[in-house]
Structure 1
Amino acid sequence: MFAAYVTLTVVAAFLAGSAAVTYLIGHDYPKAQVRMKRLPMWWMPMLGSVLAAGAIGLLAGFAVPILGVLAAAGLVLYFVGALIAHLRVGSRDLVGWAVFVTTMTATLVVTLIHRW
């Protein structure tokens, strides 16, 4: 179980961190996603910051377990919000979302099992 916990946490932190960087540097893909979801462009740095905080929280969870649990739960909620944003505008392109939410949910479950 420890190997699954470490692997999933590192993969989830990498995914969230990579997404955070693309939002924070203003890459074209997140800009297109924000436009498609009809969200204000000024949300991009906030969305990137939430993803970055989640990635850092997952890694901090190795030292302070409750931070890892809270970060994983927060990332799951973030991607539930992303699903709502997709569905609100009628987008059915959910493959990327599914990868992220599955990874974050699995990380939350394995973290909870490993820690408690």
Structure 2
Amino acid sequence: MSVAHTLVTILGALLVGFSAYSVFTKAEYVVGPLAEYGVPRAWWTWLGLAKAAGALGLLVGLVVPAVGYAAAVGIVLYFLGAVITVVRARAYAHIPFPLIYLAPVAASLVLGLAA
């Protein structure tokens, strides 16, 4: 495991964990767009839990790599789904936001598999 992999993984976990926290606290900059995109309010807690589990899985993956790989794949799929949701809502200016969370997690996965 390289230093770059460790740092990128921690960064990804922090970003995804912050995203989960933002959903749990119903931060307007997160829940406003969710409502605008048509994501049912009943899903918000589950989406936050998925993000929190993914962030924790990334950190556990520093010790148990298979868990980290699974978490990274799950988070990448989650945020690809977020990109699709944004596109379907025709909020094209918002596309970069899920990509900000996706990028370090994808990089973590690539670095982990390359090691």
TM-score range, shorter chain: over 0.9
For 1:97 and 1:16, locate their aligned partners in 2 and report how far apart those are by CA, in whole Å.
10
**Structure 2 Cα separation of the partners of residues 72 and 98 of structure 1:** 14
The amino acid across from 2:114 in the alignment is: I
8 Å Cα contact 2:24/2:45 also seen in 1: yes
CA shift at 1:34, angstroms?
1.0
Which digits, 9 at most, give the CA deviation of each residue in 1:68-104, with x for residues without a partner?
Answer: 0000110000011001100111111222222122122
Displacement over 3 Å in runs of 4+ = none
- Determine the C-alpha separation between the residues in 2 that align with 1:18 and 1:101: 13
Counterpart-to-counterpart distance in 1, 2:8 and 2:61: 12
Shift in Å, 1:107: 1.2
- Corresponding residue for 2:109? 108
Distance 1:87 1:31 in 2: 17
Report the Cα distance in structure 2 between the residues aligned to 1:60 and 1:70, rounded to whole angstroms.
Answer: 11
Aligned residues: 114
Q: Quick one: distance in 2 between partners of 1:57 and 1:91? A: 30
Q: Which residue is 1:70 aligned to?
A: 70
Q: Hey, what does 1:8 align to over in structure 2?
A: 8
2:30 & 2:71 partners in 1: Cα distance?
A: 22
* Whole-angstrom distance in 2 between the partners of 1:98 and 1:62: 23
Superposed CA offset, 1:30-77 (max 9, x none): 211211111111111111100000000000011211000000110000
Q: Normalized against structure 2, the TM-score is what?
A: 0.93
Q: Percent of aligned pairs with the same residue? A: 33
- For normalisation by structure 1, the TM-score amounts to 0.93
